[in-house]
Amino acid sequence: MSQIIVGIDFSNSSMVALKLAVDIANRTGADILLAWVETKELDKEQAQKELHDLATTYTPKLNGKKISYIVCKGRVYQAMANLAKTEKPDLIVIGAHGRGGFDEKYAGQNTFKIVTECETPVLIIRETFNFDKHLDKIVLPIDSSRDTRQKVPWTIEFAKMFPQSNIAVLGVQTTRVQTVRNEVVGYVKSVETFLTKHGLPHTVDYVDAEN
């Protein structure tokens, strides 16, 4: 991993996102790019000062890598998507409220659009994330969609970052049509084989859910 982009709006949850990004960067040797999207609520000059202060504060916590920052213009999801296309990061990390939904600047449709428009994996982290607790479970949902297994390689990389974790493969059945259900089972079995090949501990379960 070479670069992680962190969406910053100076909220508590975006600070949690930055802290987690530093943890991941130290495990993978990645640089960090802080990205702030211009708003009417905060003066650009003040935002740049705060970004500089964040970079200065967190750089010593990064093992020999660098933290830089950038100011973007436009709608949040478009700015983040364009930045991802330009920078080609390995991961984007953004913060979320613990119980009340996403932060205003990364809320609702913005977050959904960032996830759907960026080819880069997007990690959304809650403000209540407990850094003192080991990451012991990664849930990997598998359904009948064509791209359902695209997340498997990244899940493997993430599990390797946190070797104490267990991958919980969840086969999601959204129909009673037997051919489709069999397809999901086949996908899950291929994922099991892949995880076993990489020596990663995992469990398998199935659930019926509405599409």
CATH number of 3-126: 3.40.50.620
Over residues 50-64, mean pLDDT: 94
Whole-angstrom Cα distance, residue 83 to residue 104? 20
Report the pLDDT value the prediction gives residue 96, as an integer from 0 to 100.
Answer: 77
Domain ranges of the chain: 3-126, 137-208
Q: How confident is the model at residue 104 (pLDDT cuts 50, 70, 90)?
A: low
Residues 6+ apart with CB under 8 A from 20: 93, 123, 125, 129, 131
pLDDT (tens digit per residue) in 150-171: 899 989 998 998 888 999 999 9
Whole-angstrom Cα distance, residue 67 to residue 59? 6
Q: Fold identical between 3-126 and 137-208?
A: yes
For strand 202-208 and strand 166-173, is the pairing parallel, antiparallel, or unpaired?
A: parallel
Whether the predicted pLDDT of 11 surpasses 70: yes
DSSP 130: -
Report the pLDDT value the prediction gives residue 101, as an integer from 0 to 100.
Answer: 40
Whole-angstrom Cα distance, residue 16 to residue 203? 29
DSSP 96: E
- Across 18-90, where does the E strand assignment appear? 31-37, 67-72
- Output the pTM of the full model: 0.86
Domain 137-208 has CATH 3.40.50.620: yes
Higher pLDDT, 156 or 64: 156
Whole-angstrom Cα distance, residue 55 to residue 66? 8
What is the C-alpha radius of gyration for the chain, rounded to an integer number of angstroms?
19
